[in-house]
């Protein structure tokens, strides 16, 4: 079936199998490979992207379900001049990553979290990121990064 999805502002059309998952559309069709496939079972959150502005696990969405929608991956966060998104800057500054595998999904989940709750408490950040696993167990710095990004956006 023909599917058209606006990915990071660019309309992408692809002829896919009905069973194609959004994450494969992004990685194989759109050639945007920052979005990782971790557990494949809706648990780890590595494949998290924004679908019409809200975090979803793209391993558990059919490309057909996203037909006509807008998707943002971590590649789409930086400005046109390459300036990093405040969340990316905060992850860098607070060392919110170790091996980096969970990072694209973690960043997208965090962006969605702050959109819904711009001033979260530390506990709200921890609960808000419960759908994302970091197997390096680097959670402390990740939570610190999200709080720093929230503070920066508040000051901006």
Partner 1 sequence: MIPATFTYRRAESADHAVVLVGEHGDEAKLLAGGHSLLPLMKLRLAVPEVVVDIGRVRELSFIRDLGDQVAIGALTRHHDLENSALLARELPLLAHAAGQVGDPQVRHRGTIGGSLAHGDPASDLPAVVLALEATLVARGPNGTREIAAADFYRGLFETALEPDELLTEVRVPKPAGAGWSFQKFTKRAIDWAIVGVAAQGDKVALVNMGPTPLRATAVERALADGASVEDAAQRAAEGTEPPADLNAGPAFREHLARVLVRRALEESRA
Helix 139-155 with 86-93: angle, nearest 10 deg = 130
Select from 5, 7, 46, 56 the one that contacts partner 1 (CB under 8 A): 56
**Element housing 71 (H / E):** strand 70-72
Residue 22 to residues 1, 7, 58, Cα–Cα distance (Å): 13, 11, 5
- Dump the DSSP string for 94-123: TT--SS-SSHHHHHHHHHHHHHH-SS--HH
Residue 20 binding partner 1, by CB under 8 A: yes
Select from 113, 134, 142, 147 the one that contacts partner 1 (CB under 8 A): 113
Residue 38 binding partner 1, by CB under 8 A: no
Residue 46 binding partner 1, by CB under 8 A: no
Residue 61 binding partner 1, by CB under 8 A: yes
Q: Would you tell me which residues interact with partner 1 (CB under 8 A)?
A: 1, 17-21, 24, 40-43, 45, 48, 51, 54-57, 60-62, 64-65, 109, 112-113, 116, 127-128, 130-132
């Amino acid at each position: 079936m023909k599917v058209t999805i606006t990915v990071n502002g660019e309309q992408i059309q692809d002829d896919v199998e009905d069973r194609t998952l959004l994450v494969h559309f992004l990685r194989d069709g759109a050639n945007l490979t920052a979005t990782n496939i971790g557990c494949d079972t809706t648990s780890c959150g590595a494949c998290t992207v924004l679908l019409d502005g809200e975090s979803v696990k793209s391993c558990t969405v059919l490309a057909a379900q996203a037909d006509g929608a807008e998707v943002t991956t971590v590649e789409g966060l930086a400005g046109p001049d390459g300036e990093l998104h405040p969340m990316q800057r905060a992850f860098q500054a607070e060392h919110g990553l170790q091996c980096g595998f969970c990072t694209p999904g973690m960043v997208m989940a965090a962006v969605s979290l702050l959109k819904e709750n711009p001033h979260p408490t530390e506990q709200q950040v921890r609960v808000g990121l419960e759908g994302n696993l970091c197997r390096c167990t680097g959670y402390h710095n990740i939570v610190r990064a999200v709080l720093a990004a929230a503070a920066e956006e508040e000051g901006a």
